[in-house]
Amino acid sequence: MFYELKGVEIIRKMKLFGVLVALMVISLMLFASGCAQKADNEAKNVANETKKAENETRNIKNETENIKNETENLKNETEGVKQEIANVVEKSNVNIVQTLADKNFVTLVQLINVAGLEKVLAEDGIYTVFAPTDKAFAELPEGAVPALKNNTNELKKVLTYHVVAGKVLMKKDIENMTSIKTLEGGELTVNVTANGVQVGGANITEANIMTKNGVIHQIDKVLIPPR
pLDDT (tens digit per residue) in 138-178 = 999 999 999 999 999 999 999 999 999 999 999 999 999 99
pTM exceeding the 0.85 threshold for the entire prediction? no
Rounded CA gap, 132 and 106, in Å? 10
pLDDT score, position 29:
66
Rounded CA gap, 100 and 216, in Å? 8
Q: Are 216 and 99 in contact (CB under 8 A)?
A: yes
Query: Going by DSSP bridges, is the β-strand pair 163-165/179-181 parallel, antiparallel, or unpaired?
Result: unpaired
Return all residues near 98 (Cβ < 8 A) that are at least 6 apart: 122, 211
Residue 16 is which amino acid? Answer: L
Low-confidence stretches of the chain (pLDDT < 70) are 1-43, 46-47, 53, 64, 71, 73-92
User: DSSP state, 181?
Assistant: E
Q: Are 190 and 178 in contact (CB under 8 A)?
A: yes
Q: Are 187 and 174 in contact (CB under 8 A)?
A: no
The separation between CA 167 and the C-alpha centre of its own chain, rounded to angstroms, equals 17
